[in-house]
Amino acid sequence: MSSTASSTSTQIQLASRPVGWPTPENFRTVTVELPDLAEGEVRVANEFISVDPYMRGRMNDVKSYIPPFALDETMTGGAVGRVIASRAEDLPVGTAVLHQLGWRDIAQAEASAFRQVTEIHGAPLSLHLGILGMTGLTAYVGLTRIAGLRSGETVFISGAAGAVGSAAGQIARLLGAERVIGSAGSAEKVELLTSKYGFDAALNYKDAPVREQLPELALDGVDVFFDNVGGDHLEAALDVMNTGGRLALCGAIASYNAEEPTPGPDNLSALITRSLRMEGFTLGGHFDLADEYAQRMTEWFAAGEIAYDETVVGGIDHAVDAFLGMMQGQNTGKMVVRTA
């Protein structure tokens, strides 16, 4: 191993469970001394860590598809970096790796905790946390396996300027969607959707109720709804879904920080009268599509078919700010923290 590798790690822990919106007081920063590397272990200097909406759910102590974050433990989650010290043959110093050890500048563990990533010329390593990684795969699974998108259909994507949303819009088009409509929370994002991401139409949900705006953009109805928001967006979509339509529920960011249960849409009867299918999903059961996705996305990416944005926040000390900003919609595209 290199004798120059950092031997301390700065880490962000969950100090208490938030009620409603998280605050900086729910987190604490610690610096720990790392033990010497054991045989089979590697030490990784993270370049980017990921902050994602699903993490809010894990801060609650409730049964869900993944267990809650443990109190007084370092926050876990996606991160990419490079090996700076190694006692594992497969991962020599310099290797770019992806892992789930989360919110820390230096990660050290057995080599099996890290997966080497294929570096694409001109693509920053952070894209493996976004369009080239789980974010993009989430969009692909929702459109294909869950919604069964068919060529010629109209797709509506809520939270479309977010990481998953902007991937979903472009993938929907590449899969043959005839019309792609998105929602976002600022004039700048709405402009980006049509100018950069190829959406046919977009609405700013802060301008007027989605229920009023959407019908004007979806004169022929909507066949597939890819939902990252829930609440008013889901209700508006149900109003305009065509018979036989499919709703893929990926996220419900509108309610993640609610302190009380919020009522559902008042038009669920549309499911019966228009034979709609609404299905929630998480990536957990669908990793079998990862290779298929990687192959298609690599081709699309190489052909220059994919645009992306990242909102990069500098410094592990700002990880909490980045997370809170993402929950408030301050990001365009994937929100990542640059640790270096």
Interface contacts to its own copies, rule CB under 8 A: 57, 64-65, 230, 234, 243-244, 249-252, 255, 261-282, 284-285
Give dist(CA 168, CA 154) in Å, integer: 13
Q: Which is nearer to its own copies, 274 or 296 (CB)?
A: 274
For residue 334, which of 310, 318, 312 has the smallest C-alpha distance? 310
Task: Return the number of the residue (54 or 205) whose C-beta is nearest its own copies.
Answer: 54
Shortest Cβ 286–its own copies spacing (Å): 10
235 touches 214 (CB < 8 A) = no
Instruction: Report, in Å, the least distance between residue 208 CB and its own copies.
Output: 19
Residues ≥6 apart with Cβ < 8 Å to 8 = 31, 32, 33, 34, 106
The letter for the amino acid at 63 is K
Spatial separation of the C-alpha atoms in residues 97 and 115, rounded to whole Å:
5
Q: How far apart are CA 322 and CA 330, in angstroms?
A: 9
Q: Helices 134-141 and 290-302: crossing angle, nearest 10°?
A: 110
Give the Å distances, CA to CA, from 86 to 95, 97, 118. Answer: 10, 13, 19
Q: Whose Cβ is closer to its own copies: residue 174's or residue 247's?
A: 247
125 vs 146 by CB, closer to its own copies: 146
Nearer to its own copies, 89 or 266 (CB): 266
Which three-class secondary structure state does DSSP give residue 283? helix
CB of 280 to its own copies, least distance (A): 3
Residue 234 or 324 having the CB closest to its own copies: 234
Instruction: Note whether 135 and 333 are within 8 A (CB).
Output: no
